[in-house]
């Protein structure tokens, strides 16, 4: 029986945390435990995971998941679940590589051959988002997502909603569908008005119209719009999603495979969603390993609808492109709004380990969410 010999973590620019698991016979699997702005905390959580699982059979992925989740006594939350997510991804990658098959093959096989994807665009003005959308169209995308609004107070002038409508129309004029991310920064009085204002334009979805902790508000909000409601990037387990499903107020869930327990847990969350006729569109503004893990779920999940795909072409911070950590970035090529199901073993991507070790060896200034403040100086949601 092979055993886990080493569990390594690498904090990488701009804001990622890679996980490398090696067995005593030299087999290797990679995962991603990125928790934007809190990499140091997640890295610290790996101390207890190493204590428990060095010497453990890496093939017993479910047993490792259960032990990591249940026997820490304090469970759940972004830090512990992100650490578990990265370890879980690495174990699935390792198993797939040892067996010579993609992870989706181990999940029961693929239910689709291509994965619909969308990309993020920035810009505060209609001309800015139109230009960004046109560039995404050239890159092969047919759908994008953008902030619904850069800044709204608890109660703002209704005129503040006009620019959002103009921005949505500007993107659609380029021939793309668009999802609107409220990012939880819009409070209920303005969220209702904003949803009503954009409804005639028929966006793909409204994401986080309110913060997910205000579930009763989302239930009320859902009664006032016909636009699909999406949320879930700040939920970390099937128990977090359970109350959302029971409230019957969300149309699309967006678990993050680097925050919500990895492939193992997100597979279960997706199955729960299917029972409630809820679609799955995993959250992923992260790196190549996180995206590759999402692609495994996308390939094998019947109620999957579209994948956020933001690496490299989204976050090219200081000239650093995460695609440079991959030996073959072409596996993520977008054609006609879709990416072919990854066919390589494990997660389907190969990491350039030398580049990872070199980047992680340099001093890194921790990434932090920027502080957003309104005209009155009060802090706004990022």
Catalytic residues: 183, 283
Cα four-point dihedral sign 347, 141, 355, 286: negative
Measured CA to CA, the distance from residue 64 to residue 84 in angstroms comes to: 9
Measured CA to CA, the distance from residue 142 to residue 335 in angstroms comes to: 9
What is Dmax (Cα atoms) for the chain?
A: 67
The DSSP call for residue 22 is E
Cα four-point dihedral sign 294, 299, 303, 306: positive
Cα four-point dihedral sign 13, 17, 18, 23: positive
Cα four-point dihedral sign 283, 288, 290, 292: positive
Residue 277 φ/ψ region, left for φ over 0, alpha for ψ in the -120 to 50 degree band, beta for the rest: left
- DSSP-derived secondary structure for 263-313: HHHHHHHHHHHHHTT-EE--B--S-HHHHHHHHHHHHH-TTB--EE--TTT
């Amino acid at each position: 029986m092979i055993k886990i010999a080493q569990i390594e973590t690498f904090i990488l620019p701009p804001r990622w945390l890679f996980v490398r698991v090696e067995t005593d016979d030299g087999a290797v699997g990679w995962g991603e435990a990125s928790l934007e702005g809190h990499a140091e905390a997640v890295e610290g959580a790996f101390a207890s995971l190493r204590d428990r699982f060095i010497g453990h059979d890496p093939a017993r992925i479910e047993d490792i998941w259960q032990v990591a989740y249940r026997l820490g006594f304090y469970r759940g939350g972004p830090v512990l679940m992100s650490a578990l997510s990265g370890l879980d991804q690495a174990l699935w990658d390792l198993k797939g590589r040892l067996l010579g098959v993609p992870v989706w093959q181990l999940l029961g096989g693929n239910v689709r051959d291509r994965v619909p994807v969308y990309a993020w665009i920035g810009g505060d003005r209609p001309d800015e988002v139109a230009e960004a959308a046109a560039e995404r169209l050239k890159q092969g995308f047919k759908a994008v997502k953008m902030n619904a609004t850069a800044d709204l107070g608890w109660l703002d002038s209704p005129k503040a909603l006009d620019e959002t409508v103009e921005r949505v129309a500007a993107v659609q004029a380029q021939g793309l569908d668009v999802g609107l991310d409220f990012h939880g920064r819009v409070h209920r009085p303005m969220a209702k008005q904003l949803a009503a204002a954009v409804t005639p334009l028929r966006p793909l979805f409204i994401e986080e119209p309110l913060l997910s902790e205000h579930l009763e508000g989302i239930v009320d909000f859902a009664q006032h719009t016909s636009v699909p409601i999406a949320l879930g990037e700040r939920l970390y387990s099937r128990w977090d999603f359970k109350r959302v499903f029971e409230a019957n107020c969300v149309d699309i869930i967006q678990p993050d495979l680097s925050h919500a327990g990895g492939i193992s847990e997100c597979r279960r969350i997706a199955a729960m969603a299917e029972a409630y006729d809820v679609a799955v569109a995993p959250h992923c503004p992260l790196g190549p390993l996180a995206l590759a893990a999402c692609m495994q779920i996308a390939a094998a999940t019947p109620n999957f609808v579209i994948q956020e795909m933001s690496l490299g072409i989204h976050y090219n911070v200081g000239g650093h492109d995460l695609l440079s950590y991959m030996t073959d970035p072409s596996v993520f090529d977008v054609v006609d709004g879709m990416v072919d199901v990854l066919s390589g073993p494990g997660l389907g991507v190969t990491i350039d380990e030398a580049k990872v070790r070199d980047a992680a060896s340099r001093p890194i200034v921790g990434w932090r969410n920027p502080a957003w403040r309104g005209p009155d100086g009060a802090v706004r949601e990022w």
